[in-house]
Amino acid sequence: MRLSRFMTHAAVIATLSMAPALANAEENSGAIAAMEEYLVFVEYGGGTISAEQIPKDDWKRFHVIDARDEAQFDKEHIPGAVNIEWRQVLEKRESIPKGKPVLIYCNTGSLSAQAGFALRVAGYENVRILQGGFADWKAKGGFDAATKATPRTQ
């Protein structure tokens, strides 16, 4: 029941965030209450994960979405990623699995966070945002980031 109520509130929030803000705070009270409930519900970090937290061999478990535009994707991207521009994730959600971990990234994490929020509102609880985005992933050594950040013990 709580999840259903959360989804209703989240849908209201998403709808209102796309419309111009209302000047009167009293008129926004429903949206404010919904956001307060969401902030209590959401986990710390909003579902972010850093490249270092994903062991090199585990990357293949993820359905990786590059949320940048097609030109950026064509220039370079994380190997194995599919390109769904951040604004199109809901439109193309049928191609996004619910039964497999989903990792979404953009250049820095800002736009992919919005796309991830939209997917969570749409019922995707398996979505994680790559903290720092593609720029951070690349700067830290890509797939080898986990190996460099976490020494293995034998």
Flag whether 132 is in a domain.
Answer: yes
Q: What percent of the chain has pLDDT over 90?
A: 44
Name which of 67, 64, 17, 62 is nearest 38 in CA terms: 17
Is residue 63, in this structure, part of any structural domain at all?
A: yes
pLDDT tens digit sequence for 133-144:
999 999 988 877
Do 25 and 8 share a domain, yes or no? yes
- 154 located within any domain: no
Amino acid at 114: Q
Structure tokens at 107: 């250049």
Q: How many domains does the chain have?
A: 2
Residues 88, 19 within the same domain = no
Same domain assignment for residues 117 and 132 = yes
pLDDT at 71 over 70: yes
Q: Which domain holds residue 26?
A: 1-41
Predicted model pTM: 0.69
In this structure, are 48 and 35 located in the same domain? Answer: no
Longest C-alpha distance within the chain, in Å?
A: 61
